[in-house]
């Protein structure tokens, strides 16, 4: 890509929005994948196999692109490879075990909103890990507003009762926490590694572990055909393209500017789940929660001063 595309304000806006659109589309894509491949909500082994194929393929695509760009794909030390393997185990394998199981037991709309808690978990964890990234009044308010949105999205279902299950909404939140913690570890590793190469390897390693786990548990993708295979390829591409473009944007722009676009992920996730899964957006709790979560993300990612691309 030309430098003007990922450094100009219009280019940054377009590319960051594209990444968020791709990540938001993962929610209905996974749910539709379960339907096309005849994977039931209780068939955990097949869910892991489905996830494993997706991320192993995504990692392989990223590494091929990195190699074509003359990046150091095979120059890791033994210690670095161990660190990347640990990152793959946590950020891909463990996170998506919880995420894929949770999404099988929760709607795409609710999952889109609840998975956004990862932004707030990152802010809280950073407060205890980095001396220069402490919570302030604005960030604390953003976390409070965001987590309030998570509470609100689970209201309803029957009057004002609380509609929440551990293996559904609970696992989606756990996945968000695992991602937040693993991302902080990944940020430390990326100081000494190329981010694209590191991401490619951790996706490939995590995906292979997921695939092995699924196969070992008796999982199978019985209805793999042109349609479901195309969806699987799309999901692999969305991960590899979004990660690659997002890494490029972070490298050439202020982190605060790029992070502010995170609020678009639940917006796209909710909208696309409504369109492709036929899920209702008209419940007051969904709309109110989406607004609260987006406001919370904006508050915690908004830079203190003016930021120019």
- 241-252, pLDDT tens digit by residue? 998 888 778 777
Main-chain phi, psi angles of 259, to 5 degrees: -60, -30
Cα gap 160→284, rounded to integer Å: 11
Cα gap 99→169, rounded to integer Å: 9
Nearest alpha-carbon partner for 102 in 182, 179, 215, 199:
179
- pTM for the structure as a whole: 0.87
Nearest alpha-carbon partner for 6 in 260, 238, 252, 194:
252
pLDDT-derived band at 195 (thresholds 50, 70, 90) equals: confident
The mean of the pLDDT values for the chain is 87
User: Which range has the worst mean pLDDT, 5-14, 79-88, 191-200, 300-309?
Assistant: 300-309
pLDDT tens for each residue of 250-302: 777 776 677 778 888 898 998 999 899 988 777 778 888 889 988 988 888 77
pLDDT at position 62, please? 94
pLDDT at position 158, please? 47
Nearest alpha-carbon partner for 279 in 15, 13, 31:
31
Q: Is the pLDDT of residue 46 over 50?
A: yes
For residue 282, count other CB atoms closer than 10 A to its CB.
7
Half-sphere exposure at residue 42, Cβ-oriented, CA atoms within 13 angstroms = 0
96: Cβ–Cβ under 8 A, 6 or more apart, which residues? 51, 55, 175, 206, 210
Q: DSSP characters for 115-168?
A: TTHHHHHHHHHHHHH-TTS---HHHHHHHHHHHHHHHHHTB-SSTT-B---III
In this structure, are residues 266 and 113 in contact, taking their beta carbons and an 8 Å threshold?
A: yes
Q: Rounded mean pLDDT of 207-234? A: 93
pLDDT at position 4, please? 63
Q: Rounded mean pLDDT of 176-182? A: 91
Angle (CA) 283 178 21, round 5°: 50
Element (H, E) at 9: helix 9-36
Q: Rounded mean pLDDT of 206-222? A: 94
pLDDT at position 159, please? 45
pLDDT tens for each residue of 117-163: 888 898 888 888 877 778 888 888 988 998 898 888 877 654 445 67
DSSP conformational letter for 124: H
Q: Give me the residues paired with residue 155 across strands.
A: 162
Q: Is the pLDDT of residue 75 over 90?
A: no
Buried b (16+ CB within 10 A) or exposed e, 179-194: bbbbbbebbebbeebb
User: Which range has the worst mean pLDDT, 99-108, 202-211, 248-257?
Assistant: 248-257
């Amino acid at each position: 890509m030309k430098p003007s595309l990922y450094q100009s304000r219009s280019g940054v806006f377009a590319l960051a929005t594209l990444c968020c659109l791709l990540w938001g589309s993962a929610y209905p894509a996974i749910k539709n994948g379960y339907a096309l491949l005849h994977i039931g909500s209780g068939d955990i082994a097949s869910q892991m196999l489905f996830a494993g194929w997706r991320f192993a393929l995504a990692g392989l695509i990223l590494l091929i692109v990195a190699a074509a760009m003359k990046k150091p794909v095979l120059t890791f030390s033994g210690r670095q490879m161990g660190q990347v393997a640990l990152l793959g185990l946590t950020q891909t394998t463990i996170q998506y075990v919880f995420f894929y199981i949770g999404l099988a037991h929760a709607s795409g709309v609710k999952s889109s909103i609840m998975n956004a808690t990862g932004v707030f978990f990152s802010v809280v964890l950073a407060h205890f890990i980095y001396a220069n990234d402490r919570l302030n009044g604005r960030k604390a308010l953003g976390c409070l507003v965001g987590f309030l949105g998570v509470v609100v999205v689970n209201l309803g279902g029957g009057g004002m009762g609380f509609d929440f299950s551990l293996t559904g909404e609970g696992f989606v939140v756990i996945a968000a926490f695992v991602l937040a913690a693993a991302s902080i570890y990944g940020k430390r590793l990326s100081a000494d590694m190329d981010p694209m190469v590191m991401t490619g390897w951790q996706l490939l390693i995590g995906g292979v572990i997921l695939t092995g786990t699924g196969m070992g548990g008796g999982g199978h993708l019985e209805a793999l055909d042109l349609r479901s295979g195309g969806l699987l390829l799309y999901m692999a591409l969305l991960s590899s393209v979004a990660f690659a473009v997002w890494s490029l944007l972070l490298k050439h722009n202020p982190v605060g500017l790029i992070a502010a676009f995170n609020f678009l992920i639940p917006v796209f996730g909710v909208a696309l789940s409504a369109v492709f899964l036929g899920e209702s957006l008209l419940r007051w709790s969904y709309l109110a929660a989406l607004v609260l979560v987006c406001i919370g993300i904006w508050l915690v990612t908004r830079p203190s001063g003016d930021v120019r691309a």
